[in-house]
């Protein structure tokens, strides 16, 4: 254990006290002796998605290993803006204040998405799809939402998932999105990035320098058809030659990167597909970030997962191969974020199979380091 690690351990109790949480009970030896954030400090930041209620049980792991956080759900529209005049900042504020207290950064997730909207879908109520009235009303609603979140969190969030999952698996725009339906086209994507960029530049004192980076985030980005459509969308936003026009009178926007939701399997995607996706994103002048990493132990099966020691080692080998690709592309990758901290807190429990446990992360249900953790740090 390094002197820096020992020093951090001595500060953990003080940090926890500062954010009003109880000290951890798990001994540091069970979560590994080498902090991920230290091992990867010259490569990229290492993050985790969590919630305040989950954090309380794994805060020793988070303090020791991670130097980036993402709100797993608490900045999504349905939670933080459930009705027109109602905002619920409690959970997002708690995680943001914790990050500020530790001096680490966050990813803002996600400003515009077609899922996890308010139960009453209040922003679309009373509007007629694909009309000037709907577009005008939604632009005002969208701008207010984005301005409010940027105003509240711009000091701790250094990159934003501005638009999430707007491209279909077949490569076109998702027409099943209510944003697409009510705007009548993909125009909503432009306005989401425009309002986010404008809000960030306003906080930069009019210098034209954004305080946070603009990302598009999606799953299956390793699918070449989908990736090509994403890059075409980026080219449209920045108005490369031969792309469709932007909304009348609007200027181009150069976004910063693409997030790969790396909800991957033990046997998919192979490292060649991952490398090809990173190369294509870099070739388009963009940064890649690994935004939602976990490796399901299911092999895509719907059956019960028997997570044996042999399967744990296979998963470790898989993580080792993937992180070898990440390290070799550290100049192209801005961050790597795990979607969760420990197996007991993963979203893959009960999904896509109700009642089934999964084992996709580096720390097990007792919050001990798994072989996957040691595989990720075992390099020179």
Does 201 participate in catalysis according to the annotation?
no
| Contacts for 333 with CB less than 8 Å, ≥ 6 apart | 43, 44, 278, 287, 288, 289, 290, 326
Q: Would you give the DSSP letter of residue 363?
A: B
The alpha carbons of the chain give a radius of gyration, in whole angstroms, of 21
Residue 51 CA to residue 71 CA, distance in Å, equals 6
Cα torsion angle, 113, 117, 122, 127, sign: positive
Instruction: Provide the 3-class DSSP secondary structure of residue 243.
Output: coil
SS3 21: coil
CA dihedral 178, 166, 294, 296 (to 10 degrees): 70
Maximum pairwise Cα distance, the chain? 63
Q: Is 161 within 8 Å of 291 (Cβ atoms)?
A: yes
Distance in angstroms (rounded) separating the CA atoms of residues 288 and 333: 5
The reply to whether 72 belongs to the active site is no
Closest CA to 257 of 201, 216, 208, 220: 216
Structure tokens at 286: 């963009």
Distance from C-alpha of 290 to C-alpha of 207, rounded to nearest angstrom: 30
Locus of tokens 């995680």: 95
Write the DSSP string, 151-176. Answer: HHHTTTEEEEEEEES-B-TTSSB-TT
Q: Which two tokens stand for residue 50?
A: 């969590």
SS3 letters across 256-315:
CEEEEECEEECCCCCHHHHHHHHHHHHHCCCEEEEEEEEEECCCCCCCCCCCCHHHHHHH
| Catalytic entry in 72, 165, 181, 186 | 165
Two tokens at 311?
């399967």
Nearest-CA neighbor of 212 among 200, 203, 202? 200
Q: How many residues does the chain have?
A: 380
**Which residues are marked as active site?**
165, 292
């Amino acid at each position: 254990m390094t002197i820096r690690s020992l020093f951090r351990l001595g500060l953990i109790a003080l940090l926890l006290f500062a954010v009003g949480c109880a000290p951890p009970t798990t001994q540091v030896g069970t979560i590994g002796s080498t902090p991920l954030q230290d091992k990867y400090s010259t490569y990229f930041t290492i993050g985790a998605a969590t919630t305040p209620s989950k954090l309380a049980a794994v805060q020793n792991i988070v303090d020791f290993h991670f130097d980036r956080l993402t709100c797993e759900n608490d900045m999504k529209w349905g939670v933080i803006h459930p009705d027109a005049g109602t905002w619920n900042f409690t959970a997002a504020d708690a995680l943001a204040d914790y990050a500020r207290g530790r001096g680490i950064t966050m990813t803002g997730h996600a400003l515009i998405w077609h899922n996890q909207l308010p139960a009453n879908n209040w922003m679309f109520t009373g509007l007629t799809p694909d009309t000037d009235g709907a577009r005008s009303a939604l632009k005002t609603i969208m701008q207010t939402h984005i301005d409010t979140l940027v105003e509240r969190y711009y000091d701790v969030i250094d990159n934003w998932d501005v638009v999430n999952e707007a491209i279909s698996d077949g490569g076109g725009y998702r027409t099943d999105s209510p944003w697409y339906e009510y705007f009548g086209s993909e125009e909503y994507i432009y306005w989401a990035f425009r309002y986010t960029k404008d809000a960030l530049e306003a906080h930069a004192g009019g210098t034209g320098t954004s305080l946070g980076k603009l990302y598009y985030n999606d799953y299956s980005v390793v699918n070449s058809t989908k990736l090509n459509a994403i890059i075409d969308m980026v080219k449209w936003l920045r108005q490369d030659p031969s792309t469709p026009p932007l909304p009348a009178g609007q200027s181009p926007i150069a976004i910063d990167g693409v997030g790969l939701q790396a909800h991957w399997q033990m046997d998919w995607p192979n490292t060649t597909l991952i490398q090809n996706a990173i190369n294509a994103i870099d070739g388009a002048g963009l940064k890649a970030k690994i935004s939602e990493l976990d490796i399901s132990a299911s092999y895509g099966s719907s059956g019960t997962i028997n997570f044996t020691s042999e399967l744990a080692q296979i998963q470790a080998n898989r993580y080792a191969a993937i992180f070898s690709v990440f390290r070799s592309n550290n100049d192209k990758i801005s961050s790597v974020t795990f979607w969760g901290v420990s197996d007991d807190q993963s979203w893959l429990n009960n999904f896509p199979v109700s009642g089934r446990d999964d084992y996709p992360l580096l720390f097990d249900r007792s919050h001990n380091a798994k072989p996957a953790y040691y595989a990720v740090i075992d390099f020179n």
